[in-house]
Amino acid sequence: MTINNILLFLYFASLTGLIIFGSHRYVLIYLYKKYKRNTPETKPLSDPFPVVTVQLPIYNELNVVSRLIESVTNFDYPKDKLEIQVLDDSTDETQKIAEEIVNKYKNENFNITYIRRINRNGFKAGALQNGLKTSKGKFVAIFDADFIPKPDFLKKILPYFSNDNIAMVQARWGHTNRKYSLLTKIQAIILDGHFLIEQTARNRSGRFFNFNGTAGIWLKKAIEVAGGWQGDTLTEDMDLSYRAQIKGYQFIFVPEVVAPAELPIDINAFKMQQGRWAKGTIQVAKKLISEILKSKTSFKVKFEAMIHLTSNLSYPLLTIVSLLLIPAILVRLNTPHTKIFLIDLPIFILGTLSIFYFYYTSQKELGFSSWDSFKYIPFLMSAGIGLAINNAKFVLEGIAGHSSEFVRTPKYGISQGQKQKDPNNKNYKSRKTIVFYAEIIMATYFTFVLFLTIKSHLYYLIPLILLFQCGFMYFAISSFAQLFKQR
């Protein structure tokens, strides 16, 4: 084979993988529309107010820790049935702030404890497991530092534990700063698609879905039976979720209950969060796929789990496609137009259009107008491409078994109506990485590809090339601007 044939094989093989993952979004939309009205059963608990332990894992959260603890103490729930654990692994002034707030609420007769470990072993999973040792609740509610649960959260979620086989009930995430910037608007749409379409489709059609690490309640016994929190992946929530469901426990997703949370406003924090999720998912795939395949679950459950846990392989595939677009363009120059049509039409329908339709559906289902649902999706698609190198790096690390620290996502206490401000903070410094330089190179590369496309009169490819160019350019410029502000 010639070098050109090898490159084209890699290009089309990678493109085929992307089409498979992309077309699966149609399956999720179908399942969502078919099963969305299959609402789960609720019934009064035998004990109307069981003891609930609320765990608040925090690490250097000085901007939001007060807000978090205050929101939990505002729960409309009997004080004598509510246990609050502040699990603080912080190394900065958060320690003092959190301990003072805990002592304040102790004096107001809240059952609240401040728990510190001598190390950060296992990261968030380690903190949760450590707190579980002394927890008194039959149920365990978990909230990350950026969440502001509403007072009726426990009363709305607990009735879904209608039998002893229900292990976990997950609420939908809301967004307190959705309109803060283009970045937060894009993130909100991404998360809306994940929660409303993916989680609803998987759960209500009888497939596995995962706890999202926060804004959910667990049956404590189910955590213990499934093997407890384990810190050998960066997505301990997904890991425990699959282990519990393999054991036969059931999960419930309740999109009607919304837990507000703050979206990252820092571009590099967003990239790190996305990379952590991508790497953690691959780690869980390596750890559990064989167990899933050997389990007594149905084929549809196993198939969906396989797609779910391997979906982040799309990022290395997208990176390969990005790098090989020039030989793909040259092929089009030497191919009759009818054959080009046969190549590009399936790619557009099964890949690109599926993404657009997926997120458009989620926004329409949430009540946004057609224009609001439409106008940000091209930016979202471009940002997804721009994340390719960042997430591909993390995915390859996960495949290679390269361990890394759980890097928390900075929070700044941003509210919905607040104007944009400099997210710079001495505790959350960004730094130049190989990804930063790769994004600059890719932005330059796609500027050349765009020029080549225009020169070759392949005008119908220009919108696609612009998605790539703008995506890499956005992350390169945004990362550089943030680094410049920190000088």
Q: Are 226 and 247 in contact (CB under 8 A)?
A: yes
Q: How confident is the model at residue 341 (pLDDT cuts 50, 70, 90)?
A: low
Q: 424: pLDDT confidence band, cut at 50, 70 and 90?
A: very low
Question: Over 80: is that where the pLDDT of 351 sits?
Answer: no
Q: What is the pLDDT of residues 465-474, one digit of tens each?
A: 899 999 999 9
- pLDDT reading at 487 higher than 60: no
Mean pLDDT value across residues 198-218? 98
Task: Report angle CA 22, 177, 60 to the nearest 5 degrees.
Answer: 95
pLDDT at position 418 over 70: no
Dihedral sign from CA coordinates of 461, 463, 464, 465: positive
Average pLDDT over residues 114-131: 95
For residue 332, the model assigns a pLDDT of: 66
Q: For the sheet with 111-116, list strands across it.
A: 111-116, 82-88, 52-58, 139-142, 216-219, 166-173, 250-259
> What DSSP state is assigned to residue 59?
S
Backbone angles phi, psi at 304, to 5 degrees: -65, -40
pLDDT reported for residue 263: 96
Quickly count: other Cβ atoms within 10 Å of residue 283's Cβ.
Answer: 25
Instruction: Please give the full DSSP string across 422-483, using - where no structure is assigned.
Output: ----TTS-----HHHHHHHHHHHHHHHHHHHHHHTT-GGGHHHHHHHHHHHHHHHHHHHHHH
Model confidence band, residue 243 (pLDDT cutoffs 50, 70, 90): very high
The 8-class DSSP code of residue 261 comes to: B
Asked whether residue 106 carries a pLDDT value surpassing 80, the answer given is yes
Q: Which CATH class is domain 43-267?
A: alpha beta
Catalytic residue annotation? 89, 237
Q: Are 258 and 175 in contact (CB under 8 A)?
A: no
- The single residue listed with the structure tokens 């099963």 is 35
Residue 402 is given by DSSP the state: -
User: What pLDDT is attached to residue 340?
Assistant: 53
* pLDDT, tens digit, 9 for 90 and up, residues 433-463: 789 899 999 999 999 989 988 988 878 788 8
Numbered ranges of CATH 3.90.550.10 in the chain: 43-267
Q: Which of the four pLDDT bands, split at 50, 70 and 90, describes residue 356?
A: very high
How far apart CA 251 and CA 301 sit, in angstroms, is: 13
Q: Which pLDDT band holds residue 104 (cuts at 50, 70, 90)?
A: very high
User: What is the band of 8 on the pLDDT scale with cuts at 50, 70, 90?
Assistant: confident
Could you tell me the pLDDT band of residue 189, with boundaries at 50, 70 and 90?
very high
Q: At 338, is the secondary structure helix, strand, or coil?
A: helix
